[in-house]
């Protein structure tokens, strides 16, 4: 691992809950305060939404003189484990307790404060009870009870198009994450309103800015003698809007830092300078090791390399699989898909790197956080930097993988860098982009999500749809606009071909043929109902027919998957599809 850029966080790993957690230590600027702060993440989808805010808060607090640890609970994020494992709630709380001890050990602080958003706050309260001696709690929109959170999960799960696979067993899938029957049962036991003893003498409760009222917690805790400040600060709604659209409200983070500073004197005496942190990778099932990598200009790019066991076949160990961000989702991918895929492929002998493109997640890049368009060109440079780094590790073959806008980056990088051996493009919605071409029919149309026209054709066979049409329950105009885009694009192409008296070839198709002729393999995986399928089949023909016979091209349409492969069953289908393809290609 190259040294971190000055002032940057350091990746760490520590034992917790019978396994291990991945985290980041942000060292205090200057002499430091005697209190260290542990940041406890919310669960599931909300952990993705809040990632950038947590990173920004850690930096803010470190600048203010606090040593800070942010981390993933066991079974989440980049840590070991899975949400399918037993005893999740206990593991989450145990992870916080272990993180608190690790922060004390690494930073030499003698007091602790815990911060959490939503269930992160609820779990922080639970951990504070176990730890004892926690000086203060900062709770942003805490879930008052686990039961309240489970109700929300139930409502979200109901909003999904497909019933959860294991609902008969009592498991629930909500917003891309699995909550087993045991997890749901154990969540019900959490209650941070009814407390017997104060979990900390001081608490700051930051209220949601999108719902009225402060809830029962502040009053209940004051009755128990806790000094509680309940503040209405902006930022919650914009932080939670969607993982790839979240906004960091810096003023609110500054206010939290000020609140903590008010009761936190500097360290009594400067101790010995902290020892450098050595990252000792722990083992995952199957003998996989995960190692943090910094690379690119001034080490400004970050990723996690999953190394298969040494005894694997050389052809696979020399093959690196790179996962590319979906929108502004950080490297674990939507629904933690990239972690599941990266570990499954590493278990088969491939090296895998899930990393953050410049301006996303933990890759600050050279120009700060990325804003706006996911399709802007320039990410190819980051991909080439990752290939350079993996080449230095001995890799000779490089596969790029991306869902949605990640597949755009893969395609553009494959065009730009001849070292790319193959690409797996999943649920692509656009593979080319022209800045300023806002009127381009595909660019304009694909900014809105519908279903594939194949889906609507199938729906027209169902009588219920006509009843819904008559009741005005179907977005006829929106669907008609999308179908119109497909028809208009095809008509324009046909007219163009007639006028030019030759078979025209659009950019994407000719580019794909060029990549293929170079020997680069392409696997296109499209969910049957995904509306990107219209775009892909416009360019490549139905099920890739325009590329038929090309040994370096394959298109597979998978059933039962949504756009981000959010269900457990959908992820299994995808991973098996990709694994089989890679194994077949690695034999050649």
Q: How many CA atoms lie within 13 A of 143 on its CB side?
A: 25
Tell me if residue 67 falls in helix, strand or coil. Answer: strand
Maximum Cα interatomic distance, the chain, rounded to a whole number of Å: 85
> C-beta of 161: minimal distance to other proteins in Å?
8
Secondary structure letter of residue 194 according to DSSP: S
List 34, 56, 152, 419, residue binding other proteins (CB under 8 A): 152
Q: Which is nearer to other proteins, 245 or 492 (CB)?
A: 245
Cα–Cα distances (Å) from 95 to 189, 217, 539, in that order, read 18, 24, 48
Three-class DSSP category at 242: coil
Please say whether the dihedral angle defined by the alpha carbons of residues 216, 217, 223 and 224, taken in this order, is positive or negative.
positive
Burial of 251 (0-12, 13-18, 19+ CB in 10 A): exposed
Q: List the interface residues with other proteins, window 32-51 (CB under 8 A).
A: 45
Contact characters 467-486, other proteins, x per CB under 8 A: -x--xxxxx--x--------
154 binds other proteins (CB under 8 A): yes
Q: In terms of CB distance, is 175 or 357 closer to other proteins?
A: 175
* Number of residues counted as binding other proteins (CB under 8 A): 27
What's the closest the beta carbon of residue 456 comes to other proteins, in angstroms? Answer: 11
Residues with Cβ within 8 Å of 569's Cβ and at least 6 positions away in sequence, in order, are 165, 560
Residue of 90, 108, 111, 160 that binds other proteins (CB under 8 A): 160
Site for other proteins contains 497 (CB under 8 A): no
Q: Is position 463 an interface residue for other proteins (rule: CB under 8 A)?
A: no
Q: At 21, which helix (H) or strand (E)?
A: strand 19-26
Give, as ranges, the residues between 275 and 314 that touch other proteins (CB under 8 A).
none
Q: Which of 6, 132, 159, 196 binds other proteins (CB under 8 A)?
A: 159
Q: How far is the CB of 531 from other proteins (least distance, A)?
A: 13
Q: Is 91 helix (H, G, I), strand (E, B) or coil?
A: helix
Which pair of tokens denotes residue 185? 């049962």
The angle subtended at Cα 169 by Cα 164 and Cα 175, nearest 5°, is 30
Contact letters (x/-) for other proteins, 220-259, by CB under 8 A? --------------------xxx-----------------
- Under the binding rule (CB under 8 A), the answer on residue 158 touching other proteins is yes
The residue among 117 and 512 lying less far from other proteins, judged by its C-beta, is 117
CB nearer other proteins, residue 211 or residue 298: 211
User: What is the closest distance, in whole angstroms, from the C-beta atom of residue 27 to other proteins in the complex?
Assistant: 35
Looking at 157-165, 331-339, 430-438, 484-492, which segment touches other proteins (CB under 8 A)?
157-165
Binding mask of the shown chain, residues 122 to 151, with x at each position contacting other proteins by CB under 8 A = -----------------------------x
User: Which residue, chain included where needed, has tokens 């989450």?
Assistant: 92
Both tokens assigned to 148: 């309240």
Following DSSP, what letter does each residue of 228-271 receive, concatenated? EEEEE-S-HHHHSS-TTT----HHHHHHHHHHHHHT-PBPSS--
Which one, of 153, 177, 194, lies nearest residue 84 by Cα? Answer: 177
Is 506 an interacting residue with respect to other proteins (CB under 8 A)? no
Q: Judged by CB under 8 A, which stretch of 54-62, 192-200, 204-212, 282-290 contacts other proteins?
A: 204-212
Q: Could you tell me the two tokens for 299?
A: 């080490």
**CB nearer to other proteins: pick between 475 and 488:** 475
Residue placing its CB nearer to other proteins in the complex, 269 or 477: 477
Buried-exposed string 106-128: b where 16+ CB fall within 10 A, e elsewhere: bbbbeebbbbbbbbbbbbbbbbb
Contact 74, 17 (CB under 8 A): yes
Residues making contact with other proteins (CB under 8 A): 45, 151-152, 154-160, 174-175, 210-213, 240-242, 448, 468, 471-475, 478
């Amino acid at each position: 691992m190259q040294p971190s850029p000055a002032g940057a966080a350091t990746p760490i790993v520590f034992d917790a809950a019978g396994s291990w957690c991945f985290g980041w230590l942000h060292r205090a600027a200057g002499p430091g305060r005697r209190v260290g702060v542990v940041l406890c993440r919310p669960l599931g989808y909300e952990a993705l939404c809040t990632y950038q805010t947590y990173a920004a808060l850690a930096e803010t607090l470190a600048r203010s003189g606090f040593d800070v640890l942010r981390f993933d609970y066991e079974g989440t994020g980049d840590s070991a484990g899975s949400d399918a494992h037993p005893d999740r709630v206990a593991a989450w709380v145990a992870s916080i307790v272990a993180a608190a001890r690790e922060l004390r050990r690494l930073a030499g602080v003698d007091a602790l404060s815990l911060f959490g958003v939503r269930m992160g706050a609820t779990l922080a309260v639970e951990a504070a009870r176990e730890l004892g001696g926690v000086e203060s709690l900062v709770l942003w929109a805490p879930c008052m009870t686990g039961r309240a959170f489970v109700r929300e999960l139930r409502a979200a799960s109901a909003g999904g198009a497909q019933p959860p696979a294991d609902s008969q067993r009592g498991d629930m899938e909500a917003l891309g994450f699995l909550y087993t029957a045991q997890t749901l049962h154990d969540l019900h036991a959490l209650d941070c309103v009814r407390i017997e003893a104060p979990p900390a003498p001081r608490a700051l409760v930051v209220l949601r800015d999108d719902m009225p009222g402060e809830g029962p917690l502040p009053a209940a805790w004051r009755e128990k003698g806790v000094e509680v400040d309940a503040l209405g600060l902006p930022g919650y709604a914009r932080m939670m809007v969607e993982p790839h659209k979240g906004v960091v409200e810096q003023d609110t983070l500054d206010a939290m830092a000020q609140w903590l500073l008010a009761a936190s004197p500097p360290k009594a005496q400067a101790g010995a300078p902290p020892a450098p942190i050595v990252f000792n990778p722990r083992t995952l099932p199957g003998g996989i090791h995960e190692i943090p990598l910094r690379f690119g200009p001034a080490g400004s790019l970050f990723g996690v390399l999953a190394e298969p066991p040494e005894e694997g076949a050389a052809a696979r160990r020399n093959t690196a699989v790179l996962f590319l961000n979906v929108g502004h989702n950080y490297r674990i991918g939507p629904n933690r898909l990239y972690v599941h895929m990266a570990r499954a492929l590493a278990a088969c002998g491939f090296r895998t790197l899930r990393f953050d493109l410049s301006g996303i997640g933990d890759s600050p890049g050279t120009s700060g956080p990325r804003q706006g368009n996911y399709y802007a060109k320039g990410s190819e440079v980051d991909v080439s930097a990752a290939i350079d780094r993996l080449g230095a590790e001995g890799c000779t073959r490089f596969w790029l993988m991306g869902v949605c806008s990640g597949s755009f980056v893969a395609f553009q990088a494959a065009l730009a860098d001849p070292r790319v051996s193959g690409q797996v493009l999943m649920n692509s919605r656009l593979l080319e982009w022209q800045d300023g071409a806002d009127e381009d029919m595909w660019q304009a149309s694909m900014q809105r999500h519908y279903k594939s026209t194949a889906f609507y054709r199938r729906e027209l066979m169902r009588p219920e749809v006509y009843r819904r049409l008559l009741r005005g329950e179907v977005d006829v105009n929106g669907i008609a606009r999308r179908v119109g885009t497909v028809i208009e694009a095809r008509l324009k192409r046909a007219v163009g071909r007639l006028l030019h008296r030759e078979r025209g070839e659009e950019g994407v198709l000719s580019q794909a043929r060029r990549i293929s002729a170079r020997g680069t393999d392409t696997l296109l995986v499209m969910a049957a109902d995904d509306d990107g399928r219209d775009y892909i089949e416009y360019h490549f023909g139905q099920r890739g027919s325009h590329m038929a016979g090309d040994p370096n091209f394959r298109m597979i349409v998978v059933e039962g998957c949504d756009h981000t492969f959010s269900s457990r069953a959908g992820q299994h289908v995808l991973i098996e599809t990709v694994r089989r393809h890679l194994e077949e290609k690695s034999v050649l």
